Structure 1
């Protein structure tokens, strides 16, 4: 798989132990450090994501989750270490970031090379259930519709890596559930690797193959989620995984739950 390489060194400067891009990895991060005003927010971080794998990244606010995602997206290159990512990648943020002066279908095509026609946008919008809103203005969309338009803009790029930065954080509870189900369906249909940054432990267990906990600028813990799909929060195993991850995040379960 073709890759972009984000690193401050040239290949001839790389040490003998420097990782070699592998088709077994959709993402390979080696010795990544990112500092702000001399303070490392990410400190010698290592990460691998397999092609087609859904990974969720948890952590306290300020732990570097969104910084890592921006680096993987190529939006922050002031780094030390190596980042190997697919050339075809796309990002969806918490804010849909739709241009209000462009109709929905034109927003979906923003940044695409060449001159793709409206039909390309309509196909992506149909996939997220928004074909009927193709010609609408962004200000007329509900919060859930705007987020689906943002997803369509990501999917139209046919990404090998989809980066999601808390895309459901601003949605109401019911809309959030629908959006989570949509992302799960799209991922299973598309087969691309996904890295989801979230504060929601239930969301991580619901969607991910593997959950990572970031702390101190590194991946401090990881847990594989072996539950069958579709998943439900009523499953006792789901509750156990949720409590385990909450403990890793420093949140203790209520006494009655812990002793049940």
Structure 2
């Protein structure tokens, strides 16, 4: 029988995972995984499709409890997914405070919306937002919870290239301002190196590789050290960089 030890973190780490296993129909998607994320650390998680990245994030978010092992996380967590998941029948500000206890006031939502540059759209309907604006509203919904841990599941995946760059910059600024721990699940190696303190590669249900990113911020993708890190991670993911560059 699976043992769920998901409870508020009581260790110096913002996230502590030990011996975590999650199986589906007898197949272990996550297999005895170990992971620690320090307070204020920005960690990016890479891996091939189906390797268990999003499953791990859902477990850390408390959305999947059918597990074995130990998972210790902060009580205050915020989550943003690739799809903004806004309720179309609720105005933007009401979406931001959705799920908070009691009857949170509009001013609370407006403060979070101001952080992401959407203060003028608090009273708008979700269907009137662009893709980038909807994703920023989703970020505001995560931030309004004053998280000690921010979980991001490919939040920029559906955005066009220019909007994606702006959204990446916004997340970096929010992280530096807030000082919370961040775990970003992404398929984009360049994005991982651009934003993270540490990049993890998941394979076979475990963390198979760890790469620290000791580059000054803001980072320059033209920096040869940036290119070297990106190439090394692509090779870890099984990408033939010589072919990719051709």
Cα distance, 1:119–1:253 mapped onto 2, change above 3 Å: same
Is 2:185 the counterpart of 1:189? Answer: no
Correspondent of 1:170 among 158, 181, 195: 158
Cα distance, 1:41–1:189 mapped onto 2, change above 3 Å: same
Partner of 2:4: 8
Distance 1:9 1:194 in 2: 21
How many residues in Structure 1 have an aligned counterpart in Structure 2?
244
Cα distance, 1:9–1:66 mapped onto 2, change above 3 Å: closer
Partner of 1:199: 187
Is 2:15 the counterpart of 1:57? Answer: no
User: What's the offset of the Cα at 1:21?
Assistant: 3.8
How does the TM-score come out when normalised to structure 1? 0.91
After TM superposition, the runs of 4+ consecutive aligned structure 1 residues lying more than 2 A away are 6-10, 255-258
Say if 1:7 and 1:83, in contact at 8 Å, map to a contact too: no
Partner of 1:241: 229
Q: Please list every run of 5 or more consecutive structure 2 residues that lacks an aligned counterpart in the other structure.
A: none
Is 2:18 the counterpart of 1:26? Answer: no
User: What's the offset of the Cα at 1:253?
Assistant: 1.0
Is 2:108 the counterpart of 1:112? Answer: no
Q: What per-residue deviation string (whole Å, max 9, x for no partner) do you get for residues 11-57 of structure 1?
A: xxxxxxxxx9422x000000000000000000000000000000000
Partner of 2:201: 213
How does the TM-score come out when normalised to structure 2? 0.96
Q: What per-residue deviation string (whole Å, max 9, x for no partner) do you get for residues 160-205 of structure 1?
A: 0000000000000000000000000000000000000000000000
Correspondent of 2:23 among 14, 32, 35: 35
User: What's the offset of the Cα at 1:153?
Assistant: 0.3
Q: Please list every run of 5 or more consecutive structure 1 residues that lacks an aligned counterpart in the other structure.
A: 1-5, 11-19
Distance 2:72 2:244 in 1: 46
Say if 1:21 and 1:28, in contact at 8 Å, map to a contact too: no
Correspondent of 2:33 among 45, 61, 67: 45
